[in-house]
Amino acid sequence: MRNLTESTFVIRFERGDLAFCAGQYVNLAPVNDEAQRSYSLYSAEHDDFLEILVKEVDDGYISKRLKMHQPGDQLRVEGPFGFFTIDEKDYDKSFLFVASGTGLAPVHSFVASYPALDYIVLHGVRYAQEAYEKDDYDPDRHILCTSRDSSGRFVGRVTDCLAGRVVAPETHCYLCGNHQMIYDIYELLRAGDVHEENIHTEVYF
């Protein structure tokens, strides 16, 4: 386990023979527990392990159980699932990744899996300490947007950051995070004539 903040951490576990595409998720649960939760994979397609990014929440049963896990403890993994992925034919296109909070997880997998991507990441958080492992991104391509302190590269909501940018209509846009952020960003992109078929969304609850 890698602690990133007091409440957010990365869990690494054995991959076995599980093959996945960056952007997919797995259903995860402690062994002998019926409850499970979906987590986007944080690791790269070529890694010989799997990682997920977890935020412990006050009423989150699974996140609290995962926080207590120790090396050697077992997890039940189902998947992978989902279609929030990048088509191989688009690898040479331009990408805009917009994420709020731990919605950054699939973005991390995209960038780690496809290092030649032409991308920009807009990551919306409250405080700069929530810029989860930002050194894994090209600093010229990563824009941290902080809404409750002045330490971000952009001070304000991620939607305000995007509102001041021009996005080419052919850009492939991947939005991941809370539903309100996704709705607002989607409307901004469509108002800017980004092609609807190039906007991909994944809601985090």
pLDDT of the residue at 163: 95
pLDDT of the residue at 60: 82
pLDDT of the residue at 169: 96
CATH of the domain at 69: 2.40.30.10
Same domain, 142 and 65: no
Q: Write down the residue that tokens 């809601």 correspond to.
A: 203
Same domain, 96 and 136: yes
Count of domains observed in the chain: 2
Same domain, 38 and 65: yes
Given a cut of 50, the residues of the chain with pLDDT beneath it are: none
Same domain, 128 and 191: yes
pLDDT of the residue at 88: 96
Helix (H, G, I), strand (E, B) or coil at 48: coil
> Looking at 63, 81, 99, which one is the last position of a domain?
81
Q: Write down the residue that tokens 């909070």 correspond to.
A: 101
184 alpha carbon, distance to own chain's centre: 18
- What is the residue range of 93's domain? 88-203
pLDDT of the residue at 6: 93
pLDDT of the residue at 205: 63
Same domain, 104 and 58: no
Same domain, 115 and 170: yes
CATH of the domain at 162: 3.40.50.80
Same domain, 40 and 118: no
Residues 6+ apart with CB under 8 A from 121: 97, 98, 99, 104, 107, 111, 137, 141, 142, 143
Same domain, 95 and 158: yes
Same domain, 188 and 122: yes
Same domain, 50 and 110: no
| DSSP 8-state symbol, 153 | S
